[in-house]
Chains A and B, each alone.
Chain A
Amino acid sequence: MLRIEKLVKQYPTGDRALRGVDLMVPEGEVVALIGPSGAGKSTLIRCVNRLVEPTSGKIWLRDTEITALSARRLRQVRRRIGMIFQEYALVERLTVMENVLSGRLGYVNFWQSWFRRFPQHDVDQAFALLERVGLSDFVDKRADELSGGQRQRVGIARALIQSPDMLLVDEPTASLDPKTSRQIMRLITELARERGLAVIINIHDVPLAQLFVKRIVGLRAGEIVYDGPPEGLTPERLTDIYGEEDWGAGQAVAGADSAQEMDPEPSPIFAASTSNA
């Protein structure tokens, strides 16, 4: 389904965010991509739909080479790749329905989108999806009136109405409370399995990833250092990915990780990667 070969991304600032990543995600598989902040998780998934232009390497979706597409063909391929964001990335001033229907923008013509005259089929699908994510009563509410969990549900519906083959999910739960986080993870993984989508989920929270996903890929300083089942994430493995920490103590992985995000000082791994660059 998705095949990434020797992907390298160097930002104009000199940061080498990805240093030769090889990754295969077969049809219907959900992969959690874990790693400390700055490891290159967001960069990796943004390279897949070329919101970030890779420096070198190849990416294939089925038999389309994404890295070789013209702007026009790229837009067509993007329609089949749904994306879900950490801060939801909804258009706050538009209604829930408009936000969901915006997932169809790649399919309708300009005037249909301008006058919000989407084909009946799209509207039916939008209603069905809103029902599925539990937002039937919020159709005409403005997105900025919703809670975080509700906004993320709109984000999910927007991604799914694209009828994607693949989902790219960037830290879907990082701004949510623990209970909502689990609900959102459950929703995403369930919907993905129902529809047989290939999914890459970037996630900070290792226990949460272990709970919902059968394959975990660990990224450190732009390189894959772990690829295997959740059970294989031993303390040694976690040290490989995140650096030294007492992983046994109180299962505090998520806490330690989010503390690291706040930490103004770069972690040792991060420091090493920048000095190499």
Chain B
Amino acid sequence: MAELTASPVTSRRWRKPPLIRNPWLRWGLLIGALIYLAVAISSVPVDDARIARGLERGGRMISSFLRPDFASRWYDIQIGVLESLTMTVVSTVAGVLLSVPVGLGAARNLVSAPIYLACRSIITISRTFQEVVIAIVFVVMFGFGPLAGVCTLAFATIGFMAKLLAEDIEEIDPAPLEAIRATGAGWLKTVTYAVMPQVSARLVGLSVYRFDINLRESAIVGIVGAGGIGSTLQTTFNRYDYDVAAAILLIIIVLVMTTELVSGHIRRRLQ
């Protein structure tokens, strides 16, 4: 330190180098973006009358949310909640069971190229589309109701779980894999002895995590008609029963928070 202050300091200017070096390009892009924004905003039709009506409706909604009505549609709510829970359990179990073979097939260190590509495609398809889009497809296929919801959530679960599982498998210690193969064990036995023990704890943790994602999603896919509490919610909105809607939203919040707490606890215990 002493040496530093002792030596004569010539002051050199320093500025953080700009992200884009060329000043013309830099300012051009900025101005272009501002113009686009201005044009875009002006292109959205703003209707004063509709805003006024919307605000009024919003006010009514908020006031009914302050006094949620659990009683008048309790039976429907109960059925919706049960249906959502059933959808969640069934879709998680089915999705996880199906995701294991897909995940194994999508691990480069376990399979040949054609199987790898096939399983990766399944994962990509499942992950490309948002749950709501998939739900609409299944509602068209199977009609309204929880079957479409279960299929949607199971399909989404496959993509999610299989991708993470495959990534885990690709990172396992290759030595035991080689050792088990060297005993003369075939593929399936090698997987059960050398691969599954290395990833099973993570697999359980991820399944629990996916369970609470599925519960949340079960409310959303219900809105497009795929059953569960979401469908009940949708009905109440259509009838302007905001106080019942409020009750349902509160129940969803409590349910999601509870499963999140429980699943977080289980996952911490697994580590």
Contact = CB atoms under 8 A, between A and B. Distances in A.
A202 interface: no
B179 A83 contact: yes
Interface string A191-216: 00000000000000000000000000
How extensive is the interface on chain A, given as a class? 20 to 34
The dominant DSSP class at the B interface is: helix
Interface in B203-237: none
A251 interface: no
B194 A76 contact: no
A49 B198 contact: no
A90 interface: yes
A191 B64 CA distance: 82
Contact of A91 (B182, B189, B197): B197
A89 B197 contact: no
Contact of A51 (B173, B178, B200): B178
B193 A106 contact: no
Contacts of A155: 179
B184 A162 contact: yes
Interface residues of B, number: 22
B176 A90 contact: yes
Given A105-B193, A113-B192, A114-B192, A91 B185 contact: no
Given A91-B198, A113-B192, A113-B193, A106 B183 contact: yes
A77 B173 CA distance: 25
Nearest to B175: A89
A244 to B, nearest CB: 34
A105 B189 contact: yes
Contacts of B193: 91, 94, 98, 102, 105, 113
Contacts of B183: 78-79, 83, 102-106, 158, 162
A54 to B, nearest CB: 16
A79 B182 CA distance: 8
B178 A89 contact: yes
Given A83-B183, A106-B185, 18 more contacts: A51-B178, A51-B181, A76-B184, A78-B182, A87-B175, A89-B176, A89-B179, A90-B176, A91-B176, A92-B173, A93-B198, A102-B180, A102-B193, A105-B184, A105-B189, A106-B184, A107-B184, A158-B179
5 contacts: A49-B182, A89-B176, A91-B180, A91-B194, A105-B184
Interface of B: 173, 175-176, 178-186, 188-190, 192-194, 197-198, 200-201
